[in-house]
Structure 1
Amino acid sequence: MPHATAKDGVRLYFEEAGSGTPILFLHEFAADYTNWEPQLRYFSRAHRCIAYSARGYAPSEIPPSPDVYTYEHFYTDALAVLDHLEIEKAHLVGLSMGSYSSLQVALHAPQRLHSMTLAGVGSGSSLEHLDDFRAQCRATAEQFETLGSVEVAKITREAPGRIPFLVKDSRGHADFYAALARHDARGSANTMRGFQAGRPSIYTMAEAIRKVTTPALIICGDEDDACIAPSLFLKTHLAASGLSFFPKSGHVLNLEEPALFNETVERFIAIVEAGRWHPRDPRSVMT
């Protein structure tokens, strides 16, 4: 089985398809590498596509300690996959947790990115409710440990941002959460405790984000309430960003609306590769 090795020795499983300019896909908390299948099948027609499971997600390694599940570990793991494949530069396409990691790569290693797509980004960023969010993450970690993944999946599938998926596509929704029920409970608990409860709010990084010039596409579902304000914040602060809202959509954008997602990202990548995705013209800013 193909694996890359992280800086601390953790083995990361990946799959790839196609050839051309590389695209690296980074999944959300409730997903793994398999949830990018609609994108790998589509984008591999013209690009080299790579999807990997984050640490804590089988068949990647599942370290026992939550201390090695910080947001720094997650974004440097993305770089480790690129290094293993000898890819100097790639388009990064992330969803939720994967979007946060993509943004961190842009902040710390911008030379490795052609572009970044940040979908469903920024939940839990509200500074007013940050302590409550972190407490909920720790409580969810305990649920994974005491109840197991099957029972937690039953709870997660009823979260507000997940309901639009259920309304549109009950079969796809059921498949998605059946897969979550098979996740390793220890890995999920460690990710909740280390990454989700420990990552800084994007609102605390405004000054650093303003300096990022990487072409960025921000995508948000208009019924994904937790991500609307952070998406608007990033549109305001990322110099070379565009923002797209998907109507009647929640959090799982690449599976809720796969055709629209693929079309939107494909157009963005094509404009970037044509050298036509520029920072915002200051003349367009109202003062």
Structure 2
Amino acid sequence: MPFVISDGIRLYFEEYGEGYPIIFIHEFEADLHSWEAQVRHFSGRYRCIAYNARGYPPSDVPDDPAAYGWELAVRDIEAVMAALSIRRAHLVGSSMGAYAALLFGLRNDGAASAIVAAGAGAGSPASDQEEWARSASVLARALTARGMASLAVKMASHATRRRLMQKDPQGWNVFVKRLKQLSAQGMSNTLLQCQALRPSLFEFQDQFSKMNVPVLLAVGDEDNPCLQTGLMLKSTIPGAALWVCPNTGHAINLEEPAAFNAQLEALFTMVERTSCQHSDVRKQSSSQNDAVRAAPLQAGGAIA
């Protein structure tokens, strides 16, 4: 099995295709398998990398809760990129993964050429923070006491998940089956150290206002915990676009894979077209004064 090492923790990853890299970062209630529809779509012309977060087998499941946390999740993205010799990439994150992708963008200027944040920011509004932390603690204790098998169906039946059940019953059954196979300990530690303790995205508004990365904010119109945060991010990040998908809950990439892929395709095409235009300008300047060289879009390379 292929692994990268992040602060001594092994992270399992899968890689498909060649070209400019896209890194997929999964949500709390899933692992890298949740990106199958996206990897199939994009691996024909991109280098697609998906990995399991710490606590999600076959990645390591540390016993120590201190080995988990949102800052470590950001460092895990950095470790994946470093181990695979990737200097710049498009990042696609869902929920917990979207949070990490956005904070990675803030902390690593220039390393993300585009960020897709789907279902970002549950628990971030001030009115939700106390209940968010309480619910995370309750679920963490339940997972430790009862295990995944007894709680998976209930977790997958949350109000923000019911649309997946209605739209794609077979897909929902697969979602539940895979949820049962995740580590109760890993998810419990993730809840207590990452989900419950992470700062609200509203706390980063000043930094987001200076963020120089094209961002697609994707949210289902029935994903109530994320709508307010999505609007805040749209109004704050200069290069942000907000796509609200109708009749859709939290698992937007699972519920509407074709529409989700089309939105990503449009973002990546726009970013790459802009890069090519900038490269053409530099090439013209170079031919005139032999002073500047173009930096075309390529795997692991730079996007101007």
Q: Name the TM tier (shorter chain).
A: over 0.9
Structure 1 residue 158, shift from structure 2 partner: 1.6
TM-score after normalising by structure 1: 0.94
Distance 1:134 1:110 in 2: 30
Distance 1:208 1:159 in 2: 33
Distance 2:202 2:45 in 1: 36
Distance 1:274 1:119 in 2: 23
Residue 177 (structure 2) aligns with: 178
Residue 224 (structure 1) aligns with: 223
Residue 239 (structure 2) aligns with: 240
Query: In the TM superposition, what are the counterparts of 1:81-96 in structure 2 within 5 Å?
Result: 81-96=80-95
Unmatched 5+ stretches in structure 1:
277-287
Residue 283 (structure 1) aligns with: none
TM-score after normalising by structure 2: 0.89
Distance 1:142 1:41 in 2: 37
Which amino acid in 2 is paired with 1:3? Answer: F
Structure 1 residue 128, shift from structure 2 partner: 2.1
Residue 2 (structure 1) aligns with: 2
2:33 aligned with 1:53? no
Structure 1 residue 262, shift from structure 2 partner: 0.7
Residue 102 (structure 1) aligns with: 101
Structure 1 residue 211, shift from structure 2 partner: 1.0
Residue 145 (structure 2) aligns with: 146
Distance 2:169 2:64 in 1: 36
Residue 125 (structure 1) aligns with: 124
> Comparing 150-159 with 47-56, which one deviates more in the overlay?
150-159
Query: In the TM superposition, what are the counterparts of 1:198-213 in structure 2 within 5 Å?
Result: 198-213=197-212
SS at 2:218 equivalent:
strand
2:114 aligned with 1:115? yes
Which amino acid in 1 is paired with 2:45? Answer: A
Distance 1:254 1:177 in 2: 16
Distance 1:12 1:122 in 2: 24
SS at 1:269 equivalent:
helix
Aligned residues: 275
Over residues 49-88 of structure 1, what are the superposed CA-to-partner deviations in whole Å (9 max), with x where a residue is unaligned?
0000000001101111111111000011011001000000
Distance 1:4 1:102 in 2: 18
Alignment root-mean-square deviation, CA: 0.9
Which amino acid in 2 is paired with 1:42? Answer: H
SS at 2:274 equivalent:
coil
Segments of 4+ in structure 1 off by > 3 A? none
Structure 1 residue 129, shift from structure 2 partner: 2.6
SS at 2:127 equivalent:
coil
Distance 2:131 2:246 in 1: 29
SS at 2:110 equivalent:
helix
SS at 1:155 equivalent:
helix
Distance 1:237 1:222 in 2: 20
Unmatched 5+ stretches in structure 2:
276-304
SS at 1:24 equivalent:
strand
Percent identity reads 39
Distance 1:37 1:89 in 2: 22
Residue 77 (structure 1) aligns with: 76
Structure 1 residue 154, shift from structure 2 partner: 1.9
> Comparing 146-155 with 216-225, which one deviates more in the overlay?
146-155
Residue 11 (structure 1) aligns with: 10
Residue 270 (structure 1) aligns with: 269
Structure 1 residue 110, shift from structure 2 partner: 2.2
